[in-house]
Chain A
Amino acid sequence: MELELKEVRGPAAVSGSPRRFVNLTWLLATTDFKLSYFGSVLGYLWTLMQPLMFFGVLYFVFAFLLHLNNALDYPVLLLMNIVLFGFFQQATGAAIPSVVVREGVVRKMQFPRLVIPLAAVTTAAINLFFNLVVVMIFMLSYGVQPRLTWLLLPFLVLVLFVFTTGVAMLLSALFVRYRDIAPIWGAISQALYFASPVFILINQVLKGHPSLGRYYLFNPISTILQQARHWMIGGTPPGGSGVPVIMGGYVWLLVPGGIIVGVFLLGYWVFGREAPRVAEEL
């Protein structure tokens, strides 16, 4: 048996066979998913219960007590937004300490380092999948008419996944050196929560200052949530309009699109730069 002599290049973000990369990522993600509700009585049901309970709280406060957004489709929209934003929050929150948490494996084993944050994001994506099924059921039972644009939802989820992965790579690499990333990101993601149309919808923004809509949608999360609203539920303009309409032209999509691509590339670059030394820095 003649085997070819190949150079050992040392640890990197991405190395070895792509098959192993995918297998490892998927296996770690599904294992984490299995373990996340380990020891609880309801088990996987919590995956579904959590956003529903959160939804209950928000709905009670905003629709019932404050009489905000008493549009017919507000509860459906609220639930969908919570689920989508929840994915972003859960994924980044789990990814940031992921490399440090898996220290034992990182220091003792050779494998592509990028698997770690990617698995954390994938675990959250599995949750998202189940949650979206619940959202669909909730929508149908609420009387939202199915439409063809529902088929476009996976595209938005993919865009959200790419953006989230970018943030996850960037922050998990930085966290190894600077532990203050975690509290800082806690504050930023809280700010993002209020700066995105999760429960305060774009209608509020447009009511006061119609020209602000464009800038409001520079935030990639806002773009994704607003477009999801348009494709999934629709509704009367301007609140139910698609992103290009509110922004005043497709060309403006370049801004949130550019941010998403930029964050992803930056994250990939930073992670790739840190990956070779991560076993020593820990």
Chain B
Amino acid sequence: MASSQVAIRVHQLDKSFRLPKYRMHTLKERAIHPFRRHRFDEFHVLHGIDFEVLEGEFFGIVGRNGSGKSTLLKCIAGIYRIDSGTIHMAGRLSPFIELGVGFNPDLPARDNVTINAVMMGLTPREARDRFDEIMAFGELERFADTKLKNYSSGMQVRLAFSVMVHSDPDVMLIDEVLAVGDAAFQQKCLDVFYRLRAEGKTIVLVTHAMGLVQQFCHRAMMLSGGEITHIGLPGEVARAYMSENFRDLTSDVRVGITAEEVRLTAAWMTNATGERVDTVAYGDMMRLHVAVEALGPIKTPGIAMWLSSEDGVRVFSAGAREDGGGLGDFERGERMEFSIEAENRLSAGRYYLGCTVVRGTAGLEALLFQDRAADIVSYGVSLDSLIGIDHTVSVTRLRAGEPVR
């Protein structure tokens, strides 16, 4: 954070949409129903939004679909009129909330860049002066005079992003840019983000990618139902987002399963301090618990727990047996809690806690099997694999003729 100067100040912002129940598009309808106009459905989209973004700050806004993120962005950008409250801004804003707005497919890149840049607030002359630079950044030099309709969608985004970066605004509002473009371009965008961050630009980033929020943002804010529910450090906001995001999803998670001889009464997770949680950051300690009740005497029982990914791949499992974990025979009516403590090495996403109770030393007779007894969310690090394993990387250059050891 470069300074304590405020770049954006939003104070007590309220915004609602009035959607007429009957949309009257013709004068005839209007003449027939002169009073109908006043029937509106009122949608209160944002209430009492109050926050500040400092100059040089990278500020993330997260929230589920329909939480009011985009409306807020449009209010800040001056596209929607707000109902009450105030918005203040220091410096020139990039007036786009989406890349490539106003591109005309029938015009070559050259003309489109000029139009886009002028919309950004440059003069046509400045736009022409920066044209080569813009095309070079987007790696589109060879297509300067190609009509935009012959561009691929990835090329169009590259062009639009280049124009935005080169039009040099003081404050940028960015809504999910990285969703498009190939990996190389995404990397380039990330590089630009690092550069902009280093240059002390003020950026408001709306995204669903918690990795980006944690990687770039100094602070973040979560919207839910048109209100700010969390504001603060990106890690906390990301956690709040993940737990909200997965909480309401319908899933087949069940406990209270009663088999003939054993009942699964509960399954849950706690964090390092023993609090009950449903999200866990990568690298943090997690403790997985299940509770069972024996409905009859069970000789030589075994119990196992595992975590499986969304598509059913078992990522990790552990268990207790009569011989291994000090588990004795179960009496009728006996209740027991089992837990496993482990460091979370799971790539960001949702995982299911599964549980089984078996009988016999070979563990072949399953008395109870529940694949999805609870769900948990890991966040923070998105890996290319399901789990991360401690490792070191080394590189050895071989001289000519030297054999591989």
Contact = CB atoms under 8 A, between A and B. Distances in A.
Nearest to B88: A5
B77 interface: yes
A19 B92 CA distance: 14
Contact of B26 (A2, A20, A178): A178
26 contacts: A3-B55, A5-B9, A5-B89, A6-B88, A6-B90, A7-B88, A8-B76, A8-B87, A9-B78, A11-B81, A17-B121, A19-B123, A20-B121, A105-B102, A108-B102, A109-B96, A109-B101, A109-B102, A109-B119, A177-B25, A178-B24, A178-B30, A180-B25, A180-B26, A279-B79, A279-B80
Contacts of A259: none
Interface string A47-75: 00000000000000000000000000000
Interface of A: 2-11, 15-17, 19-20, 23-24, 27-28, 31, 34-35, 38, 104-105, 107-111, 177-180, 276-277, 279-280
A105 B101 contact: yes
Given A5-B89, A8-B87, A9-B78, A108 B101 contact: yes
Contacts of A34: 107, 111
Contact of A8 (B6, B17, B78, B114): B78
Contacts, number: 107
Given A3-B170, A20-B118, A10 B104 contact: no
Contacts of B118: 20, 23-24, 27
Given A3-B91, A31-B115, A180 B123 contact: no
Interface string B18-32: 000000111110100
A93 B25 CA distance: 19
Interface in B344-360: none
Interface string B142-153: 000000000000
B97 interface: yes
The 7 closest A-B pairs by CB, nearest first: A110-B78, A3-B90, A10-B81, A3-B91, A8-B87, A110-B95, A276-B81
A4 B89 CA distance: 8
B329 interface: no
Given A20-B118, A279-B79, A109 B95 contact: yes
